[in-house]
A = this chain, B = another copy of it.
Amino acid sequence: MIPVQVREQNPSMSKRASRLDDAARAGWLYYVAGNTQDQIAAKLGVSRQSAQRLVSLARSEGLVRVQIDHPIANCLELSSALRDRLGLKYVDVTPTDPGSDSTITGVAEAASAEIERWLRREEAVIIAMGTGRTLKAAVELLPRMECPQHRIVSLTGNIAPDGSAAYYNVVFTMSDSVNVRSFPMPLPVIATSSGEREMLHAQAMIRPTLELAARADVTFVGIGDLTEDAPLFVDGFITRGELAALRSAGAVGEIVGWSYDAAGLFIGDITNERVASAPIPSRRTSLVIAAAKGERKFPGIAGAIRGGLVNGLITDEATAGHLLRTL
């Protein structure tokens, strides 16, 4: 037996990093080499419980990446049906986890994988990012990577109504793990008036970012529902009254703040005039991929597709089946 490797504490190495290091090692021994946690404990010279904690930490920190390498037949059928029937350019359908009510599991992983594929490209591309919980989760799943050749541009402002950083703006999250040139939008998400919106957009620092967004090669957006718990309302971007007004005007969903009805037409005169986001990049020149699933979002997803607001979709089996039945 090879002697246990002594892992000296390099003083320059922060404790946290060294712990993650051990976690990575434990995770490797567990998931790749197939050791039991007892064996890992012996090899790393810690207690079994500590080994368990390291393995668990490796998972929760996202050090362990698992993907299933098999075209699950039903998902494939659904995605090609969606592609053909609805004229979408890109569709990915992940298995549904029946009984789990998570609105992101699966879709986040698939979106992350697709973002990663774009980032891995050697030729420079412009990637525009929307906002929302799903995208946030997807971006957090990205591995550490170097891709200085690309540019990431945010479609939405990053200032919440209370002046803090908008939590679900994903460009900064992305910078945590991916080294890429990023172009956030130092704006509020929703301006106080359409006049203010115009003024903000006219700023010298904002113009180039807006122009960059318009030239995006690929765009990832989430779709927000406009039910009672609409994220726009929950996060404080619109008032309860505005939500009610939008709903009675027929709004069924929103993309980067823009609300639209079941036909995918934008709702006038309530909040859309004040949304400070960049326009959704042209579906003729950009692949605009929506990542969304779940019953609450059915109308929003369907509307976005009907109106041609997006030309790509990442969703789950159940949602895909619903879309095929209703569209």
Interface residues of A (CB under 8 A from B): 1-5, 7, 10, 13, 17-18, 20-21, 23-25, 27-29, 31-35, 39, 43, 58, 62-74, 94-100, 105-106, 109, 120, 122, 143-144, 317-318
Contact = CB atoms under 8 A, between A and B. Distances in A.
A223 B230 CA distance: 60
5 contacts: A5-B74, A43-B99, A63-B68, A64-B66, A64-B68
A41 to B, nearest CB: 12
Given A68-B31, A68-B64, A98 B3 contact: yes
A122 B29 CA distance: 33
Contacts of A95: 25, 28-29, 33
A74 B39 CA distance: 20
Q: Which 8 A-B pairs have the closest CB atoms?
A: A24-B70, A69-B143, A2-B98, A31-B66, A33-B97, A63-B70, A28-B68, A1-B99
A94 B24 CA distance: 11
A106 B39 contact: no
A149 B245 CA distance: 55
Nearest to A110: B32
Contacts of A74: 5, 7
A18 B70 CA distance: 12
